[in-house]
Chain A
Amino acid sequence: MKVLVKVFATLRKKYPEINDMNPLVLEFEEGVTAKEIIKKLDFQISEIHLILLNGRKIKPETSISDNNGILSLFPPIGGG
């Protein structure tokens, strides 16, 4: 199963080439959790403030089972 990972803001310090138009495509077994993907990317879970799967908030423990699902990872951000 393919997961398209996008990282944003300060998380790009580790993956400067990954962005909305150029996601990282990774292969996982169906049912992988967001937490496992975050670990695989070598992030601490505490660095991640918001996780979106296809634009909807999910928890780190949420299992992912849709092929080509888009996982967006954000540190704490705000503005206005």
Chain B
Amino acid sequence: MVKGYMNKWLKVNLTTQELEEFTFSDEILRKFIGGKGIAVHYMWEYAKKLEEKRINLQEMDALSPDNILVFATGPVTGTKSPNSGRHHVMALKSPLTGSIGSGNSGGRWGAKLKFAGYDGIIVVGKADRPTYLSLIDKKAELHDATELWGKNSIETSDWLRTKHNVKRAGVSCIGPAGENLVPIAVIMNEEHRAAGRTGLGAVMGSKNFKAIIVEGKAKPEIANPKEFGSKVKEHVEKLKENGVTGQGLPTYGTAVLVNIVNQNGLFPTKNWQSGVFDEAEKLSGETLTEEYLISKHPCYGCVVACGRKTKVDKGNYKTSYTEGPEYESIWALGGSTAVSDMSAVIRANHYCDILGMDPISMGSTIAAAMELTQNGKIPEDDSQGLKVEFGNPDAVVELAWMTAYRQGLGYWIGEGSRKMCQHYGAPDLSMEVKGLEMPAYDPRGAKGIGLNYATSNRGGCHVTGYTIAAEVLGDVDRFTIEGKAELTKTFQDFTSIVNSSVNCLFLTFALGLDEYAEMIGPITGWDVNADELLKTGERITNLERMILNKLGLSGKDDTLPKRLTDEKMPSGPSEGQTVDLETMKQEYYHLRGWEDGIPTVSKISELGLN
């Protein structure tokens, strides 16, 4: 048995209420590590079984009982290696995008799942009534969740901790948005952390599955404790000495990015009509720290502490306690909507947290609604007196609440920008890729991130290949397309390793693949190096792509909105720029060994995936 793992997975069939424990072979663990990698492996095998049952994956409803949810940790999760409290959640199909569902979350739930005695959980089927799962001290049980239905993330967590008498238990749950099958719903944990993006909360809601509470005292065994301890010490020192992880993130949180991205002219404003927001300072990490911060809030084992505990003391959006908002949420709910009132952004973000929704998709879709209004596309009957106009903080806060309950225009916000803009007859105003709203960097000002948005398996996403670290925060030329294919591929494959380990992506500001080998090697006992890990990352990215291909996605879906490829950035430091996606994409496919977005037989064979 490989060390570092609990060597126990739980399969929950909600239809039959059966619980089954199983393990993965040592060979499979080495090939896919854990977290996202092992989830992708499981889903690939599961997808093949569905096909054998003659279920058409392309036509399968993401909210049908056949869809699957995988909650996964990896060998690094829950160890003394820094920032190792995270977990990864995947669904075979996203209700928002029709592509794969995927989200990675901080907090402590991932570590607690291992302490409860499990590496991961597979959830299939559909319960006939609201149900939750407890995994406490190696014991798994399903329970009636009727009393929990309708409760928000805070109420749900409090209720479960009280019921099971475990004060600091990890609780992963959906809020009302997930129950109401809102396609931008997320799965929350520790009340304010989310496996965000791609509507995983709606998949959970469709299964009548409300929550998972985890707690325990089990600990993963370490293969070589002495070497591991010495590497942990070295890695912590590197993180403390690094300017980003030692100073910038701890002091200001992720919102420290608002000013630098805006100064570079790639802070998407007014639904990506501009790359500069004149009032960005009011939304900055500096402002958040000065006016709204209560204290820092680290995740499990974190030495960075970018998490924020915040409050709003005065005005219309008083909030006595919340967490965040993160850079992305601030941009989506603020910059994208041209709302400079930080207190409104905090309030709207708080609603996303407690009701269980993705603030990126929320803010971006509200911004698209604002541009639809600007163009006279939304009838007054639909907006019901709410002024859905750029710069109106009330619209953002109100719509965030209405979306969770599918009220009024909130129905269309919850459907995401693609469906909403199609409904109102202006599909080009939807700023998404594969149906997933893009995050807070306009690729006209950093070309590599455009290639990543286009090719990321889960859709318009930055954290699957964060080239911004090199293009904006580092010394790579942000405007050139030269070398961006290789940069993107490397970032994507490395990130697959981070999300399979599972720990925090922010470590990669200070630690590289060598350090990842220094963690995974002593934990598992494998003689592993950076080259093997990068190859493993490539294998995971490719297998995930092969699932996309089964779902009917290919090169035609690796694209960007026309605004980014055809409309020049109108002003600011990125003025005049567009994205030459096609050139970068062809080079990227060549490097990947893909044809039209599909891995070739020889690439599949090279990676041991046939």
A positions within 8 Å CB-CB of B: 6, 8-10, 12, 19-21, 49-50, 52, 54-57, 72, 74-80
Partner pick for A8 among B242, B286, B328, B478, CB 8 A cutoff:
B286
- Can you sample 14 A-B contacts with CB below 8 Å? A8-B259, A9-B251, A10-B248, A12-B286, A20-B259, A55-B263, A55-B264, A72-B263, A74-B260, A77-B260, A78-B248, A78-B509, A79-B255, A80-B257
Contact call A21/B285, Cβ cutoff below 8 A: no
A8-B260, A9-B252, A20-B259 in contact; A76/B243 too (CB < 8 A)? yes
A79-B255, A79-B256 in contact; A19/B286 too (CB < 8 A)? yes
Cβ contacts B243-276/A at 8 Å (1 or 0 each)? 1110111011111110110111100000000000
Residue of A nearest to B263 (CB): A72
Most buried by B among A9, A19, A79: A79
B-chain residues with CB within 8 Å of residue A52 when the two chains form the complex:
263-264, 573
Contact call B506/A78, Cβ cutoff below 8 A: yes
Q: A9-B251, A55-B263, A79-B256 are in contact. List 7 more A-B contacts (CB 8 A).
A: A50-B260, A55-B574, A75-B243, A76-B248, A76-B473, A77-B257, A80-B328
Of residues 304 to 318 in B, which have CB atoms within 8 Å of A's CB atoms?
306
Partner pick for B244 among A8, A19, A55, A76, CB 8 A cutoff:
A76
A9-B285, A55-B265, A55-B574 in contact; A79/B243 too (CB < 8 A)? no
Residue of B nearest to A79 (CB): B254
A77-B244, A78-B469, A80-B462 in contact; A57/B475 too (CB < 8 A)? yes
B-chain residues with CB within 8 Å of residue A55 when the two chains form the complex:
263-265, 572-574
A-chain residues with CB within 8 Å of residue B469 when the two chains form the complex:
78
Residue of B nearest to A6 (CB): B263
B-chain residues with CB within 8 Å of residue A10 when the two chains form the complex:
247-248, 251
Residue of A nearest to B277 (CB): A20
Minimum Cβ distance to chain B for residue A20 (Å)? 4
Residue of B nearest to A8 (CB): B259
Secondary structure dominating the interface of B: helix
Q: How far is the CA of A55 from the CA of B218 in the complex (A)?
A: 51
Partner pick for A78 among B259, B284, B473, CB 8 A cutoff:
B473
Minimum Cβ distance to chain B for residue A40 (Å)? 20
Minimum Cβ distance to chain A for residue B609 (Å)? 29
Contact call B243/A49, Cβ cutoff below 8 A: yes
Q: How far is the CA of A6 from the CA of B281 in the complex (A)?
A: 11
Q: Rank and list the top 7 A-B pairs by shortest CB-CB distance, nearest first.
A: A55-B573, A76-B243, A79-B254, A77-B248, A78-B244, A20-B281, A79-B257
Residue of A nearest to B326 (CB): A79
A-chain residues with CB within 8 Å of residue B466 when the two chains form the complex:
80
Minimum Cβ distance to chain B for residue A24 (Å)? 14
Minimum Cβ distance to chain B for residue A29 (Å)? 25
Residue of A nearest to B306 (CB): A79
